Amino acid sequence: MHRILFASLFLLAAPARADAPGRCPAPVIASISKVFPKATISACKPERDHGKDIFEVKLARPGGDRLEVDVAADGTILQVEEPIAVDALPDAVRKAFAVKYPRARPTAVNKQTAGKDVRYEVAFVVDKARKEATFSADGAFVEEE
């Protein structure tokens, strides 16, 4: 009995994680629930992006799919990032990647959608270094991280 009481007190006293789903403001939760009604919020982390407060919301969908959604504090969805198969890269992006990184092979791809703007973030390893490069849907190089 003492152990249960101690464990309960410990859980009540433990600080909330910075990315806990409960830290999402109501407008963010409402927007996510409307756009992704079957998804579950697994994390919600406040961030600052170009001087604005946003929330990085991680979602789990039925079937195991995971998404990352950037949402403004007022609930406006700014960007949706979802993993896709390397084979699903558009030809223009695949060709541009091969030209820019001839010795590298993609290991993972995330499709980033912000309104009508679609970009592809390609993870790869070159010279034992892990990197990511972003390309627009037409194959134009955007940036490397």
Ranges 15-19, 29-33, 107-111: which has the least confidence: 15-19
User: Is residue 50 domain-resident?
Assistant: yes
Specify whether 49 is located in the same domain as 92: no
Residues 71, 106, single domain; the answer is: no
Report yes or no on 5 lying in a domain: no
Query: How many distinct structural domains can be found in the chain?
Result: 2
> Does 74 share its domain with 126?
no
Domain that holds residue 58: 17-80
As a whole number of Å, the end-to-end CA separation of the chain is: 52
pTM: predicted TM-score of the whole model, two decimal places: 0.79
pLDDT band at 50 (very low <50, low <70, confident <90, very high): confident
One domain, residues 75 and 97: no
Among residues 63, 80, 97, the one where a domain terminates is 80
Kindly state whether residue 8 falls inside one of the protein's structural domains.
no
